Amino acid sequence: MSNWTETAIKCLRDEAEALLGLIPNIDENFDKTVKIILNCTGKLIVTGVGKSGHIGAKIAATLSSTGTPSFFINPLDAFHGDLGVIKHGDVVLAISNSGQTDELLRFLPYFIEQNIPVIGMSGNPTSLLAQYATAHLNVAVQREACPLGLAPTSSTTATLAMGDALACALMEARHFKASDFAQFHPGGTLGKRLLTKAKDVMRTEDLPTISPTMKLGEAVIHVSRGRLGLCIAEDNHGKVIGIITDGDVRRAMETSQDNFFDLTVKDIMSIHPKCVTPDTKITEIENILQSNKIHSVLVVNEQQQLLGIVDSFSTMI
């Protein structure tokens, strides 16, 4: 094993240990932080300088996408007019590993005067930021993973992880669901999957429907032509009353042998096919397909009339 590989492994171990070291720091201050943000009537403004600023921008993005309106502001920009975006009702999350960053400390008198709660996140629980913050999240690490012990590595990882822990706690507190997440990500693949419904992808043309009295010899032809490996039996009113698959046909041929061509669809059809409504989500359909080990579901209306078919390929969006 090369020295480079050993260094990489040591770095990962050091950062993993740093994350585990955060667990004792999840205390009443963490609960207080969650309550402050939940009670916030405005926005959560995240701020930080340098590496802390980069981490803060990611934390703000994560919070915004999980139900907590947030954005990042650079302290240097705030000194040149952007401070006006922070209003009464907002909450500030100030990030500084040392807790002594001058650019952040300059803000504190303004926030205190405006009664704007400040959540400090630093690696120094005795820092000025920790002392003057409404609540403080301790992200202290024993050492940096950097071979020189200088470059922000373990400390930035710990800060990022604490931000994720905060986002997860807020999601739990807000009862944030997958469907809520999709609404914040409508353009992504996840959003599409969570928002897409059966009516958006179902096959509606040339549906393989047959009569329950049809002989199996003729039904085999319809199963083949439908190219879905199945046919749906309907009554005279167009109501779905059963389904046969190519597997049903094969088993019937094996068991009935010479009597196969005397059998009708109703003799072998399943009378409880899996059906969904047009508004059923694709993710729910996938669960139905997987749990029942089938490759298609029927889309029906309130009268149990066939509207379309969704197969496993249709859910691959």
Q: Is the pLDDT of residue 82 over 90?
A: no
Percentage with pLDDT > 90 across the chain? 63
Within-domain flag for 235: yes
Confirm if 214 and 265 have CB atoms less than 8 A apart. yes
Q: Where are the beta strands (DSSP E) in the chain?
A: 44-48, 70-73, 91-95, 118-122, 135-138, 209-210, 230-234, 240-245, 275-276, 296-300, 306-311
Confirm if 139 and 20 have CB atoms less than 8 A apart. no
**155 and 285 together in one domain:** no
Q: Is the pLDDT of residue 242 over 70?
A: yes
pLDDT-based confidence at residue 107 (cuts at 50, 70, 90): confident
Per-residue pLDDT tens for 123-139?
Answer: 999 999 999 999 999 99
**165 and 215 together in one domain:** no
Per-residue pLDDT tens for 245-304?
Answer: 999 989 998 888 788 888 999 999 999 999 999 999 988 999 999 999 899 999 999 999
| DSSP per-residue letters across 43-71 | -EEEEESTHHHHHHHHHHHHHHHTT--EE
pLDDT-based confidence at residue 189 (cuts at 50, 70, 90): low
Q: Which helix (H) or strand (E) covers residue 262, if one does?
A: none
Neighbours of 111 (CB within 10 A): 21
pLDDT-based confidence at residue 116 (cuts at 50, 70, 90): very high
Total number of domains in the chain: 2
Within-domain flag for 255: yes
**63 and 141 together in one domain:** yes
Q: Is the pLDDT of residue 1 over 80?
A: no
pLDDT score of 62: 93
Q: Which residues of 171-180 are buried (b: 16+ CB within 10 A; e: fewer)?
A: beeeebeeee
Confirm if 245 and 296 have CB atoms less than 8 A apart. no
Question: Domain containing 246 — which CATH number?
Answer: 3.10.580.10
Mean of the per-residue pLDDT values of the chain: 89
User: What domain range is 281 assigned to?
Assistant: 198-311
Q: What is the mean pLDDT of residues 190-195?
A: 66
Q: Is the pLDDT of residue 80 over 60?
A: no
pLDDT score of 48: 92
Within-domain flag for 158: yes
**What does residue 272 show for φ and ψ, rounded to 5 degrees?**
-130, 65
Question: Domain containing 7 — which CATH number?
Answer: 3.40.50.10490
Tokens 């990042």 -> residue: 72
Eight-state DSSP code of residue 177: -
**288 and 221 together in one domain:** yes
